[in-house]
Amino acid sequence: MFNTLPHAVDSFMDWEWSQIQPYIENLLTRELTPDSIQAWLADWTTLSNLLSERFTRLQVATTVNTKDTEAETRLKSYLDTIYPHAIASSQQLAEKLVTSGLSAKDFDIPLRNIRAQVEIFNKANIPLFTELHKLGQEYDKIVGDQTVDWNGEERTIRQLNPILQEQDRAIREQVWHLASQRQLQDREALNGLWAKLLTIRRQIAENAGFSNYRDYQWKAMQRFDYTPDDCFAFHEAIEKAVVPAAQRIYERRRQQLGVEALRPWDLSVDPKGLAPLRPFNEVSQLEKRCATIFENVDPELGAYYHIMQQERLLDLDNRKGKAPGGYCTSFPIKNQPFIFMNAVGIHDDVQTMLHESGHAFHVFESAQWPYFQQMDVPMEFAEVASMAMELLAAPYLNDTHGGFYNNADSARARVEHLTEIITFWPYMAVVDAFQHWVYDDPDRAMNPANCDAQWGSLWDRFMKGIDWSGLDNEKVTGWHRKLHIFQVPFYYIEYGLAQLGAVQVWKNALSDQAAALQSYRHALSMGGTRTLPELYQAAGAKFTVETETLAEAVALVEETIVELEA
């Protein structure tokens, strides 16, 4: 029967549920035996991939153009007429598999995850998931519409970032305030959206039999290898090992700039008075030079990237009406990734491209697995793939390798990146600790004023060295500008854990780049078939929240910064 399914997703895009349901019924009624399990899992994978790619294509269409009403209508139609049935059917199939007691080769970890899915499922949550997706679109629209007038030209908030790198401090301050005031105009709208999201999430947890949303989400996100207490331990490790290092970085910047206090608009400018790094003028240059960099890192990775170029799997430029942020998703029918970002011509764009390409390479490397559940990579390791690629590609930023910069600017770019690794960990701790607080005390978190106060308190705890005096509203509403809090709750600790893993991979590369790259690719090829500690170990790293390991990573980063600056 499954031979009649379309081989390309284009013809599947308009199928109604009545056309899909017979394939579900076939899977549900077929007898599962040791001899039939592989064919059954393969057919489930075919159908799941078609549904997944259809959903992904619709989501991508609404992010590349938030003004595309047709795409928005088609996505909402999918969410209303297909998505609920797909979720319910997936649960039925998962229950059938678990009940059978059968498995397949390299399927222990996927089966563990499926059991967790079965345990937390409640049919009443299906329409709530649908509503959360729609509210996520609302967040994108609110933020995507944030533009300002700068010198008679309409610009997105993202397009103001290059101006924050200019040496004229008065101009930097002016543009920073302009952006902040525009963001504050949406304060009430985002507060209203927040109340809706929090209410739905609490109901989802209650329906699934959990006393709080954090416990529900922990199981939903399949976090079997660490606990909330480990997160708190990581926060403390960051406070001990990283916050002082970040303070040193901020103090050095303050002295180099010659200012009495380091202000938020002083964080992007070159502290030695040099012109901003401008790695490219056109997005085509970003795309072309990254191709050369990846060829130097590894010819096979370079070949993967060329496939993305040829298949038009890159949407890189910033424009009005485009959703914020950057991401890499995948189209599972062809096992191809898609990169979305908002490039405006600054070095951060290069880092984003390297980062998202690491995710893309992960898609290619893990495509070997026959069942879709085996390619469900835990995000704590998926981010190692991306963050390690930023570091593995760093030696090839120089234009002698076809990259972006001369020797001096290449060193500056690497210092900028390494500096951001240090300053990111405290920010990550703010975001993660904030989310724990929200779902520990959701009654208080329903009041946005309490959220503002908590964010401000955490900011003062971890983000030391920057003077926010007189900017209380701008500081305490920082949670509004972190889309993860609104769209993917609890998805942020992954970045902090993975950054520690990535630095360990990089440490190995400093002594043997080829061997480190081989281990990195081997780990990526494992997909989601191993535990987090096993995936980290395969990549040459240790999965840990220990202060000692974090302190060693910080020391290596700081030492390298000193060497590059010399």
Q: Output the pLDDT for position 88.
A: 93
Where are the domains positioned within the chain? Answer: 2-104
Dihedral sign for Cα atoms in the order 370, 371, 372, 375 = negative
| pLDDT interval class at 2 (50, 70, 90) | confident
Report whether pLDDT(7) > 80: no
Question: What single DSSP character describes residue 480?
Answer: G
Cα distance between residue 427 and residue 496, in whole Å: 9
Amino acid at 297: V
Euclidean distance between CA atoms 171 and 154, whole angstroms = 17
Give dist(CA 41, CA 37) in Å, integer: 6
3-state secondary structure of 463: coil
For the purposes of burial, counting CB atoms within 10 Å of the CB of 403, is it exposed (0-12), middle (13-18) or buried (19 or more)? buried
Q: Tell me, yes or no, if the pTM score tops 0.85.
A: yes
pLDDT of residue 320: 86
**In this prediction, what percent of the chain has a pLDDT beyond 90?**
95
Q: What is the pLDDT of residues 110-164, one digit of tens each?
A: 999 999 999 999 999 999 999 999 999 999 999 989 999 999 999 999 899 999 9
Cα Rg, the chain, nearest whole Å: 24
On the question of pLDDT at 392 being above 80, the answer is yes
Residues in the chain, overall count: 566
pLDDT at 497 over 90: yes
